[in-house]
A and B are shown apart, each in its own frame.
Chain A
């Protein structure tokens, strides 16, 4: 026992956790913004897909079903590779060039391809969550909105979605928790984020345990911060009315237990 524990270079672990270098700070920043952008876009895609699934037009319904089936039925890592390497071949154009210029700033093509892959993947899961949220709202709510002359879009935005948010936000929080961790998969297409930073460190030093304990710690920090934010959001929405007895510690532990879906 003593031998095992002392085999770990605890000084290095401490450095990785409490005194990270500049490259690490950049990687951390990249992980955070990739997760946020992908999640926001994913929620948008999910909402569109959910509305398509409830549409009167068959074409839209079928398109949405196929999207959800394909994305949920294949591994995320395959989707990421496909987006980065495959899409260019398939379309015959350089969809994600080395640098993507957004006017004010430019991004590495791998980061853009990675965010697109994560967002498209997330959209399929959010689609189901949002659809279920909308379905949980009584039909009379939409009818009342229509009866005073609201068109569908306005009624959705003002009446149905604000109520559905209460059921959508808790699983959405778990999705974002998963998203933070899934950004690590982008290391495999060369995005320099937290996981790649750790991998490169260990490949030089041959001290995997130290580097991976360090990186695991930082993922834990990110997901814990998010859990705290989520509790606040849910409180604001009144979504936690039913669980008033639960303290924030249980909430965080509960969320962590459900949220750890890992790579899919």
Chain B
């Protein structure tokens, strides 16, 4: 697979426990540059947890994750042992990785534009004028130029999620992670968010998407990854995945949702 040549994400044997609950059991996944990978699977399969591990919102208990060649969340000591990295380094690594949450998590005390320019100004130290110009361009890109000064509570769910995508893009990340970005939306708003994501994919953004939107997976994804019970069950290109799933658990899952 091309992913090996030019990988943005390299996850190897990732283990994760919540207490005694073994939620990730040796997950390995490579994502190539400009690749769009959709992770699907039943709830509780560990797909969201895995996504959160990629930008170290969750600590991992085994294995390693690299993004753009940098080990995420940990550093190697002289004796080869891994220890959790400093907060500052972890924060720096996260600037490379955009994350879109199921529940948007916009900051309610800031307007749409302020949500977008906050990190560029405060973290990247971009000048305010430049950040505003870039933020306005991003609002145009997600189709919300007229909502520049609106507070999140005046926006619909779909609009909030599009601002959240713009907020993540403002850091010019090399990778975008989407955690069920349409699950909290009313049905009529799902389309506008998927449209923005599809444009993003067409522009060559590297994306990992946890989603139940099979239409999006079929059209925009380069690869579908099926997770169940903390392991990757199978992965294939969408055409192959949907027409001839090999694993029995994939067949069962697809028969339920399609």
Contact = CB atoms under 8 A, between A and B. Distances in A.
Given A144-B107, A159-B107, A151 B118 contact: no
Contact of A143 (B88, B101, B108, B118): B101
Nearest to A159: B107
A151 B106 CA distance: 17
A128 to B, nearest CB: 23
Interface in A99-147: 138, 140-141, 143-147
B126 to A, nearest CB: 12
B123 A141 contact: no
Interface string B82-114: 000001100110110111010101111100000
Contact of B95 (A141, A149, A162, A163): A149
A144 B124 CA distance: 16
Contacts of B94: 146-149
B123 to A, nearest CB: 5
B171 interface: yes
A154 interface: yes
Given A140-B101, A143-B101, A144-B101, A150 B122 contact: yes
A148 B123 contact: yes
Contacts of B170: 148
Contacts of A152: 87
A149 B119 contact: yes
Contacts of A149: 91-92, 94-95, 119, 123-124, 171
B103 A147 contact: no
A158 B57 contact: no
B101 A151 contact: no
A141 B87 contact: no
B168 to A, nearest CB: 7
Contact of A151 (B87, B105, B168): B87
Given A154-B122, A154-B123, A162-B109, A148 B167 contact: yes
A141 B88 contact: no
Interface residues of B, number: 28
Contact of B91 (A140, A144, A146, A159): A146
A71 B99 CA distance: 43
Most buried by A among B55, B101, B108, B119: B119
B117 to A, nearest CB: 11
A263 to B, nearest CB: 37
Given A146-B91, A152-B87, A141 B107 contact: yes
Nearest to A152: B87
A95 B167 CA distance: 52
Contacts of B55: 147
B193 to A, nearest CB: 17
B122 A147 contact: no
8 contacts: A140-B103, A143-B57, A146-B91, A147-B55, A147-B99, A151-B88, A154-B122, A159-B118
Interface in B191-224: none
**Considering the complex of A and B, which 3 residue pairs feature the smallest CB-CB distances, nearest first?**
A149-B95, A148-B119, A144-B105
Nearest to A166: B109
Nearest to A157: B122
A143 B52 CA distance: 10
Contacts of A159: 107, 118
Interface in B136-182: 164, 167-168, 170-171
A133 B168 CA distance: 27
Nearest to A138: B105
Contacts of B92: 149
A146 B118 CA distance: 12
Contacts of A143: 57, 101, 105
A219 to B, nearest CB: 35
